[in-house]
Amino acid sequence: MCIIFSSEYGVAIAIAIASLLLVYLFSSSKARPIYLIDSCCYLPPPNLRATAANYIEHFELCGAHEREGIDFQTKMIKRSGIGCEACLPVSVHQIPPDKSLSCTQEETETVLFTVVKDLLSKQSINPKSIDILVTNCSIFCPTPSITSMIINKFGLRSNIKSVSLSGMGCSAGLVAIGLAKDLLRVQGNSLALVLSMEAVTPSGYDGSIRSMLLANTLFRMGGAAVLLSNKKQDRLRAKYKLRYLLRTHMGSDDQSYHSVIQKEDGAGSVGVALSRSLLHVAANALKINLTELGPSCLPLSEQLLYGWSVFQNAATKREVYVPNFKKAFEHFCIHAGGKAIIDAVEERLRLKKEDGEASRMTLHRFGNTSSSSVWYELSYLEAKGRIRKGDRVWQIAFGSGFKCNSAVWECISEQDHNIRNVWSSSIHLYPIQIPDVIDH
């Protein structure tokens, strides 16, 4: 009897050990949650503001453009949706503009050093506690790298995992978040710092090709720092949890690849050309991105309605139902690439004007800050006190390649609306009615 009891007891112990092992393997195989602790956007000083009048006078004094080119850029600036508060770096205000390496580095350091210092100070983070550093800047790719500049300035650890991304356009901010996410998935108990900006200093085009002049009128000075964590204890102080991140790359299609491209004109002047097909390309990229994102985010009722409409369309050519994305997301941060981009996305997703408010106001106040624009938009929503615990925020970014990237964040804490951010000094002025043609 004693032998039988011992045998049964041993079997029970073995089962218990096996169960514990299975629980451990299951829990360890689950993806670590990624928390967004905080973000910080760069606020340029008011002396760097660039109004339409400043632009016109600057173009005329520099003498780099013919009258036709000046008139075209003036018209585009007034139609851009960008207000008189958006800023350009010191180097661009000079006559003639200084596109040198030293000025580009000065702009980069000014923006990134400021946002990193502000973010770490705000969260009482020791720089040596940062485990992962990811930066993105398309045009400026120096040696040593931008991550090395940050490591040197703030004394980060020698074993930090650091990556500098370049050439990935306005969608690179979410590409950088995706890379940081992947690194955090495989390296436990870690903090990741993600920095996004675009250097405006070397980007100016002084030729006469209209598709390349357009970029002169859109891009402005800005940048953002984002602090991510996979530490369990950081859930208590984190603002958001990353729910989904999806990237769509259309580079295999020639029209998409050439829609936003840096090149030389016939006279040897370098600039970024924006093709007439850009909105069509962006719409196609967004459609493919939504096809993959929708099943993860949309409620079943919306998916069934969409599926049934596709079936009916095949049989009777009826219009395909556009899902109600407000049933999946409470807030939208559409890349502030330009008025036309925001209008097109709103129309495509059947959104109301108020759904694109954060994007329009960001474009008006700060201009197109490239990869950091979605963080200015999130800051706008926070400053307005609109984000509540449980709300979902959808960030949509477009960029050269051509790429459409989506990030979905869930608010996991009650927001303290008294904490100041990049919008705090002017948030009471917004939203404002933006005319089709802005007269500065």
Interval 179-224: pLDDT, tens = 999 999 999 999 999 999 999 999 988 888 999 999 989 999 999 9
Dihedral over alpha carbons 423, 424, 428, 434 (to 10 degrees): -10
How much is the mean pLDDT over the chain? 90
pLDDT value at residue 171: 94
| Per annotation, catalytic residue among 58, 289, 297, 331 | 331
Eight-class DSSP state of 368:
B
Share of the chain above pLDDT 90, in %: 72
Beta carbons of 187 and 132 less than 8 angstroms apart:
yes
Whose structure tokens read 């204890």?
A: 233
pLDDT exceeds 50 at position 29: no
68-72, 171-175, 266-270, 311-315: which is most confident: 171-175
100-109, 260-269, 430-439: which is most confident: 100-109
pLDDT value at residue 24: 46
pLDDT exceeds 90 at position 2: no
pLDDT exceeds 60 at position 352: yes
pLDDT value at residue 7: 58
| Per annotation, catalytic residue among 103, 249, 405, 411 | 249
pLDDT exceeds 90 at position 17: no
Look up 440 and say whether it is catalytic. no
pLDDT value at residue 436: 66
Angstrom distance (rounded) from CA 74 to CA 92: 16
Query: What is the distance, to the nearest Å, from the Cα of residue 266 to the centroid of all Cα atoms in its chain?
Result: 33
pLDDT value at residue 333: 97
Locate 349 and state its tokens.
């997703």
Look up 58 and say whether it is catalytic. no
pLDDT value at residue 27: 44
| Per annotation, catalytic residue among 216, 230, 289, 368 | 368
| Per annotation, catalytic residue among 40, 87, 137, 170 | 170
Beta carbons of 204 and 214 less than 8 angstroms apart:
no
Q: Tens of pLDDT along 374-412?
A: 999 999 999 999 999 999 999 999 999 899 999 999 999
pLDDT value at residue 21: 58
Share of the chain above pLDDT 70, in %: 92
Angstrom distance (rounded) from CA 26 to CA 303: 30
Look up 249 and say whether it is catalytic. yes
Position 437 confidence tier, pLDDT thresholds 50, 70, 90: low
Position 65 confidence tier, pLDDT thresholds 50, 70, 90: confident
pLDDT value at residue 421: 94
pTM over 0.75: yes
Closest residue by Cα to residue 278 from 370, 200, 214: 214
> Residue 103 contacts by C-beta under 8 Å, 6 or more apart in sequence?
89, 90, 91, 201
Angstrom distance (rounded) from CA 231 to CA 257: 39
Look up 170 and say whether it is catalytic. yes
Look up 368 and say whether it is catalytic. yes
Position 23 confidence tier, pLDDT thresholds 50, 70, 90: very low
Angstrom distance (rounded) from CA 335 to CA 273: 18
pLDDT exceeds 60 at position 143: yes
Angstrom distance (rounded) from CA 324 to CA 147: 41
Q: Which of 73-82, 304-313, 331-340, 358-367 has the lowest mean pLDDT?
A: 304-313
Taking residues 265-282, what's their average pLDDT? 92
Angstrom distance (rounded) from CA 173 to CA 179: 10
Question: What is the residue type of 94?
Answer: Q
pLDDT exceeds 60 at position 439: no
Eight-class DSSP state of 124:
T
pLDDT value at residue 32: 87
Residue 209: φ, ψ to 5°: -75, 120
